[in-house]
Amino acid sequence: MQPFKKTFDHLVAEKPSQLVLGVVFFFYILFNVQTPSILATPIDTIFGKVLIFAIATVVFMKTNPVVGVLGFVVAYQLVKTASVTTGTYAMRQYLPSEANKMKDMTAFNNIEPTSEVAPTSISTSGSGIIVAGTLEEEMVDKMAPLVIKGNEDSLLDYKPVLDGQHGASPLG
């Protein structure tokens, strides 16, 4: 216990400003103080980050090593909370990069039939190539044609109905 008391008394007697700075750094880290947006915008630039870590390096070289290490931790915390305040942290964490988006799009274009899109029937085309048809393709083939050829109007048993006008004036 004696060496700690001797070191503490030496720190307080020789440089009380370092003790105050160490206590301020400790509480800044402990309470996770958020950076105000006025300060966060300039800190969240390359120049701001370099300046913050340069100041932390000077504090490390000129003060007690414990205060210097706390200075580096405070510098890291300050840069991190500044990026959270400005929103660049979320953009880096959650938005995909262009390389990842391109990889995903390439993968989407090269999808092979899986268990989710299983072929329901296999037929051969005129050239002898086997064509696998999905359920969707089969249903489209079975649908009634939208274009009527010739004079087949008499076979239709439905009439088109005009939907609600919603206050619009009728055409014609």
DSSP state of 153: G
What SS3 string covers the chain? CHHHHHHHHHHHHHCHHHHHHHHHHHHHHHHCCCCCHHHHHHHCCHHHHHHHHHHHHHHHHHCCHHHHHHHHHHHHHHHHHHHHHHCHHHHHHHCCCHHHHHHHHHHHHCCCCCCCCCCCEEEECCCCCEEEECHHHHHHHHCCCCCCCCCCHHHCCCCCCCCCCCCCCCCC
Average pLDDT over residues 118-133: 53
Contacts of 61 (CB under 8 A, 6+ apart): 68
Question: What is the tens place of the pLDDT at every residue in 128-141?
Answer: 555 556 788 788 77
Whether the Cβ atoms of residue 50 and residue 97 lie closer than 8 Å to each other = no
**Structure tokens belonging to residue 145:** 């044609």
Distance from C-alpha of 103 to C-alpha of 146, rounded to nearest angstrom: 38
State the pLDDT confidence band at 106, using cuts at 50, 70 and 90. confident
DSSP state of 122: E
Residue 23 has pLDDT above 70, yes or no: yes
Question: What is the tens place of the pLDDT at every residue in 147-170?
Answer: 666 665 556 666 666 677 777 777
Over pLDDT 90: what percentage of the chain?
Answer: 35
Average pLDDT over residues 10-23: 78
Domain boundaries, the chain: 2-86, 116-143
Over pLDDT 70: what percentage of the chain?
Answer: 68
Distance from C-alpha of 85 to C-alpha of 87, rounded to nearest angstrom: 6
Lowest mean pLDDT among 12-21, 41-50, 71-80, 162-171: 162-171
Distance from C-alpha of 138 to C-alpha of 123, rounded to nearest angstrom: 11
pLDDT at 83: 94
Average pLDDT over residues 110-124: 55
Average pLDDT, the chain: 80
Residue 4 has pLDDT above 90, yes or no: no
